[in-house]
């Protein structure tokens, strides 16, 4: 049975290091794949600097437009980690030491190692709910529909399982990829016809370059497995007619 309401989310990547190109953004892919698997569709991604007003304005805009908002970055121990304090201001909540977060971190570190910098990671909206961190101790947190996660990809990924019982998703968004040895211009008209006849399937085409040869990946996405298969059949039909080489289907 398909949920009638589509559950939608946005992602805010916070960090000057991402905008400067020093750090690659891997979190959008990780979050999007996971959210799709639990039936939540990511419909917008923003990359913004560590600037208080920008974070507040972006969070307040997106939390009113989306079912869920995920932020990554800016909840560490350094001076430029301002996300937690800024989220407090966005929601007009008291910012300070979160008792449960402080207790978790105090137990995580050896006696004498829980210094002032590390204590900063326990500072957040004092009424926030925690997202437990099995990798490095320091928890993320959420307020209403805004979920704040760390920027380190491996740590972020390890924390997602803790949200499975918190988020309400729809039907999982399934996908299938057909990789062809062709050019987009060669299949554009045929692909448009298939898309027009399959409104419940999102079809994307993406050029690739492998082993010195050009190709196109056609990605089909839908909550309906049968409709993806039917759409795939229609695509493979024109591919065969045009005598286009199939590289791989997954």
Give tens-digit pLDDT for 90-144. Answer: 999 999 999 999 999 999 998 889 998 899 999 999 999 999 999 888 999 999 9
Beta strands 140-143; 129-131: pairing state: antiparallel
Output phi, psi for 183, to 5 deg.
-115, 150
Predicted local distance difference test score (pLDDT) of residue 2: 44
Strand order through the sheet with 245-249: 202-210, 213-222, 174-181, 245-249
How far, CA to CA in Å, does 203 sit from each of 44, 58, 216, 241?
18, 29, 12, 20
CATH topology of domain 7-163: Molybdenum Cofactor Biosythetic Enzyme; Chain A (3.40.980)
At 65 the pLDDT is: 97
Give the end-to-end CA distance of the chain in Å, rounded to a whole number.
25
CATH topology of domain 174-249: Alpha-Beta Plaits (3.30.70)
Q: What's the pLDDT tens digit per position in 13-60?
A: 999 999 999 999 999 999 999 999 999 999 999 999 999 999 999 999
Same topology between domain 7-163 and domain 174-249: no
Backbone angles phi, psi at 55, to 5 degrees: -65, -45
39-57 as b/e, with b when 16 or more CB fall inside 10 Å? bbbbeebbebebeeeebbe
pLDDT band per the 50, 70, 90 thresholds, residue 3:
very low
pLDDT at residue 173, as a whole number? 86
In the chain, where the domains are located:
7-163, 174-249
pTM: 0.80
């Amino acid at each position: 049975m398909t949920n009638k309401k589509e559950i939608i989310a946005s992602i805010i990547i916070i960090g000057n290091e991402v905008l400067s190109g020093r750090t690659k953004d891997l979190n959008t892919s990780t979050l999007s794949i996971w959210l799709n698997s639990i039936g939540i569709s990511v419909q917008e991604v923003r990359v913004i600097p560590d600037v208080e007003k920008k974070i507040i304005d972006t969070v307040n805009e997106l939390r009113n437009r989306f079912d869920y908002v995920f932020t990554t970055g800016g909840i560490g121990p350094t001076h430029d980690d301002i996300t937690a304090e800024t989220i407090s201001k966005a929601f007009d909540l008291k910012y300070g030491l979160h008792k449960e977060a402080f207790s978790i971190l105090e137990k995580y570190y050896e006696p004498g190692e829980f210094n002032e910098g590390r204590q900063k990671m326990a500072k957040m909206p004092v009424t926030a709910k925690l997202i437990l961190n099995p990798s490095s101790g320091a928890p993320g947190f959420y307020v209403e529909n805004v979920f704040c996660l760390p920027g380190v990809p491996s740590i972020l990924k390890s924390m997602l399982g803790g949200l499975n019982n918190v988020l309400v998703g729809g039907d999982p968004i399934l996908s299938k990829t057909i990789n062809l040895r062709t050019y987009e211009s060669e299949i554009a008209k045929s692909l448009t016809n298939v898309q027009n006849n399959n409104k419940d399937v999102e079809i994307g085409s993406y050029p690739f370059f492998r082993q010195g040869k050009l190709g196109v990946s056609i990605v089909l996405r839908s909550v309906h497995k049968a409709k993806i298969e039917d759409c795939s059949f229609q695509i493979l039909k024109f591919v065969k007619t045009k005598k286009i080489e199939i590289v791989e289907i997954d």
